[in-house]
Structure 1
Amino acid sequence: MKIEPNLRLPLSGRELLLAESLLFKGLEPPLLARLAAVAQERRFARNEVIFLEGDAAAGFYLVAQGQVKIFKTSLEGKEQILHVFGRGEPFGEVPVFSGQAVFPASAVSLSAADLLFFPRREFVSLISSSPDLALSMLAVLSRRLRQFAAQIESLSLKEVPSRLAAHLVYLAEEQGRSDCVTLDIPKGQLASLLGASPETLSRVFAGLSEEGLIRVDGRKIELLKYEALRGRQG
């Protein structure tokens, strides 16, 4: 069938995912089709290892469904979650562009997860021929750097109540509301993300509730005094 040059074919399911993702939003359909063609679908069960720190980094991933946690483990066996990624978010991309041969952290699926894997060689070839794709990568990596800088500052300079307040404000901004948020990970995982023990986090939740700032109902957190909560970020 002949296709008129001014008409566009509808995007496939994989291309729609790419078009909605943080990394590839705004790219033209022909480039999305080329990206979809090099991506490999991979499926992981809940709590399955995707890669470990030190594993060879032959490419990077993008979440199609589910959640993935990125973490490092200390010599004493303590886990520190660096980030939790959901649908449309890339991870493991830094080694691809930094020249590193291995992943600097580990990744495990928090739920059953469908991922797209982009092999390093094919993806770098696409970037070499597409300035728009290179700019998208630069924007995402810059955003990721700011997030990690904020996390390091929070873990090193702020007390746990301020870390939790900052995280709830972050969720409010991400979810587009200021009256309540829904935790996207279990409280045990959240404790690791905030660099606290589960017991300490429970006490901090209770303390903020007693102050009348929040009301906790499972994973639903009502933000009773949003501006006051923002002021507690430290």
Structure 2
Amino acid sequence: MRVMIELKDFRVFKDLKPEELQKLEGLVRKIDYGEEELIFMEGAPAFGFYLVFKGAVKLVKRSAKGKSQILKIVGPGGLLGETTLFDKGLHNAYAKTIVPSTVGFIERGDFFFFLEHHPKVIFRFFEYLSLELKAFQNKLAERSYASSKERLARLILALDRLGLELSRAELAEMAGVSSKTAIRTLSELESRGIISVDNRRINVLKEDYLRRLSEPFSLEVDKAIII
């Protein structure tokens, strides 16, 4: 998560030529954030979208009663605020860094002007949004059909892939289970030698077992994103 990627590494820009990427680079304003820093607030006007170049950011929805739900975690190569890019609406969740991160911002008007001259990016954008929509649909199905152990298994594998650590409360939020259930399930998996737990760090010892447990729900949009 400490590696800084480039624009060419983003899925939505992979068809652009070097000179086109250079033009796009001129539209990106990069900002370095510390750990647990707010990038944008829920309900704030959306003036563009964000690209994660380094680190990891969580997108969180808060209920009227103050309960939180992590919608997704975005690592290098992922996007934030892309769902409001075309409807000019408000951010429906807030974004906060998990670790120190470098995030780029592209203003909506500048990006639309770029799209007029590089329409092939639009297809990649819609592909990205389509994959994300399917992943969220699968997550809804997972909540109905998968056990808490199966949901946590998928999440543990995804966090291991990105080298991320979450608190037990955050882990429970993402899996849609109670903190007690998350702690009990982790203890069971550890006692069986499937994982080892060192504070917040979860080490995968038997990946094949977790993969069998987490099937058949595929929630992968991009290797940079956990939903």
How far apart are the structure 2 equivalents of 1:212 and 1:222? 9
1:132 aligned partner, one-letter code: K
Corresponding residue to 2:34 among 45, 58, 70? 45
- Is residue 63 from structure 1 mapped to residue 45 from structure 2 by the alignment? no
3-state SS, counterpart of residue 88 of structure 1: coil
Corresponding residue to 1:85 among 74, 77, 80? 74
Q: Aligned residue pairs: how many?
A: 211
How far apart are the structure 1 equivalents of 2:84 and 2:106? 13
Corresponding residue to 2:190 among 187, 209, 218? 209
> Paired residue for 1:6?
none
How far apart are the structure 2 equivalents of 1:105 and 1:69? 10
3-state SS, counterpart of residue 23 of structure 1: helix
3-state SS, counterpart of residue 13 of structure 2: coil
How far apart are the structure 2 equivalents of 1:171 and 1:150? 18
- Is residue 221 from structure 1 mapped to residue 192 from structure 2 by the alignment? no
Assess if the C-alpha contact under 8 Å between 1:68 and 1:84 holds in 2: yes
> Paired residue for 1:158?
146
Q: How does 1:89-168 map to 2 (within 5 A)?
A: 89-97=78-86, 99-168=87-156
2:46 aligned partner, one-letter code: A
Assess if the C-alpha contact under 8 Å between 1:72 and 1:106 holds in 2: yes
When the two chains are superposed, the root-mean-square deviation of aligned CA atoms in Å is 2.3
How far apart are the structure 2 equivalents of 1:184 and 1:127? 37
- 1:156–1:128: structure 2 CA closer, same or farther, 3 Å change rule? farther
Assess if the C-alpha contact under 8 Å between 2:34 and 2:97 holds in 1: yes
For CA contacts below 8 A with separation 6 or more, give which structure has more relative contact order.
2
Assess if the C-alpha contact under 8 Å between 1:23 and 1:89 holds in 2: no
**Percent identical across equivalent pairs?**
30
2:140 aligned partner, one-letter code: I
Structure 2: where are the runs of 5+ without partners? 216-227
> How big is the shift at 1:41?
1.9
1:200 aligned partner, one-letter code: T
Assess if the C-alpha contact under 8 Å between 1:183 and 1:221 holds in 2: no
Structure 1: where are the runs of 5+ without partners? 1-13, 176-181
> How big is the shift at 1:184?
4.2
> How big is the shift at 1:60?
0.4
How far apart are the structure 1 equivalents of 2:165 and 2:202? 10
> Paired residue for 1:188?
169
